[in-house]
Amino acid sequence: MKKILNYLRSMRFGILLLILIAVFSIVGSVIPQGKELSWYVENYPNIHPALLILQFHRIFKSWYFVLLLVLLCLNLTLCSVLRIFSVVMASKTELADTARLPVVRLPQAGRELLEQHLADTRCRRADFGETRVYCKRRFGRYGSFVTHLAILLTVLFGAAALYLPQVFDRDCMPGESVLLPAKDGAAAFSVGSFRATDESGRLDFTSELTITLPDGRSKSGEISVNHPMSFGPYKVYQQTYGTAGSITVTNLNNGGSDTFTMTELSFLSMDNVSGVWFVALYPDYILNPDGNIMPVDTGDRSYPHPVYYVQTVEGETKAMRLMQPGDVIEIAPLRFTFNDPVSYPGLRIKHTPQLVNALLIACFALMIAGLTVTFFLPPVLVKVDDEGYAVGGPKPEGTRIELQALLQDDSKEDSV
């Protein structure tokens, strides 16, 4: 049992856990997470059975990834945090322990020079009879503890940032907004424009996005694949995209008009009796020998020759029709004009409690402070008596070298 406990608290086990977490994190970054199972079957036709069995499609929520995080927290707790008790106990007796250390012989001139240097560097002095113990930066022994504590808290709050956020997938048409309820109102996510390709024709799924928080603050910018936007407690990703039909309806009586984007079965009507049912939008068509067109689904997301499949309703008369962009149907008192299809983005909106983000930032600051103390502010504990000196504290090697530099002008026989 003791061997198991010693291994769990060892640095070797901690490094192994960090390597495994890094490897699985890379896998989770390469393979898109959280999509429908059919997406993985389509995009990974040869390896999707193994991918799904190993839960690589949701790796950050898999049982083994969670287990690795738990074991890392256990390792950090055992190997460092629990040691704070021994560190505290040692700090209470370190002056007396230093006073009992065997000395390295030093002539009187060297001792006087050493004590003058320790006094000039503002080391505090404690007397134990004829023995003087100089100390400075005693808090430096806590640097390692603070660093490991910061790592542990970073893992805990990082896990909170990974598992606590609410995730919303929303389609948003260009020129429209998506509203999400918040504690003190609603947050608005507005898409000004969306493009699937850039000027050279390369795929470039980019949305112009504006995020408006309930308190009125807003931020605008572009998001694209792997380049999300963060603002307040929200982070918005360019998740997917789609194509919608666009129909402009004009009132022939007063000239008023409105444009509707259609993604599902919908009925456009003024009196709920006569109007146009939008059924489907097809990306292309073929010509039959009789000259009529037949809509076809090409299987990709390009719409080279879009065709609207609609049903017109005029009283008791119903008819199925195929329309192309630019075609017009009039069913008094409305005119229906079929426009070019509109591409729109699918947004993934992640809401993380702001307290979690603030705590993560505080953990990073604490880690930097711990590392600074550990490497640049080591404790100084030096015993001086009538015979020579001794160096105490957790890092005597570095201090011994400093004393050698200080006393380098002494004779070789009496030097440190």
More confident residue, 3 or 393: 3
DSSP-derived letter for residue 184 is T
Cβ burial 278-288 (10 Å sphere, 16+ → b, else e): bbebbbbbeee
The answer to whether the Cα torsion of 207, 210, 213, 217 is positive or negative is positive
The pLDDT, as a whole number, for residue 87 is 82
- The string of pLDDT tens digits covering residues 153-174 is 998 898 888 888 888 999 999 9
| Distance of alpha carbon 410 from alpha carbon 109, whole angstroms | 9
Across 59-68, average pLDDT: 91
pLDDT interval class at 90 (50, 70, 90): confident
Q: How high does pLDDT run on average in the chain?
A: 87
- State pTM to two decimals: 0.62
The segment with the largest mean pLDDT, out of 12-26, 87-101, 398-412, is 12-26
The pLDDT, as a whole number, for residue 297 is 85
Strand segments, DSSP code E, in 99-184 are 104-105, 124-128, 131-136, 166-171, 177-182
Across 344-360, average pLDDT: 90
pLDDT interval class at 400 (50, 70, 90): very low
The pLDDT, as a whole number, for residue 414 is 42
| Distance of alpha carbon 62 from alpha carbon 275, whole angstroms | 51
Bridge partners (DSSP) listed for residue 284: 296
Instruction: Tell me which of 3-12, 42-51, 96-105 is least confident.
Output: 3-12
Across 78-99, average pLDDT: 82
The pLDDT, as a whole number, for residue 407 is 46
Is it the case that residue 4 has pLDDT exceeding 90? no
| Distance of alpha carbon 325 from alpha carbon 284, whole angstroms | 12
Residue 243's contacts (CB-CB under 8 Å, 6 or more residues apart) are 281, 283, 301, 303, 341, 342, 343, 344
| Distance of alpha carbon 357 from alpha carbon 362, whole angstroms | 9
User: What is the signed CA dihedral for 27, 31, 37, 38, rounded to 10 degrees?
Assistant: -150
| Distance of alpha carbon 124 from alpha carbon 153, whole angstroms | 34
- The string of pLDDT tens digits covering residues 102-147 is 999 989 999 999 999 999 999 999 999 889 999 999 888 888 889 8
Per cent of the chain over pLDDT 70 is 94
Across 218-224, average pLDDT: 94
Structure tokens given for 242: 């789609």
Q: How many Å from the N-terminal Cα to the C-terminal Cα in the chain?
A: 45
* Residue spans per domain, the chain: 2-79, 85-137+378-406, 166-242+345-365, 244-344
| Distance of alpha carbon 57 from alpha carbon 40, whole angstroms | 8
Across 45-54, average pLDDT: 89
The pLDDT, as a whole number, for residue 394 is 64
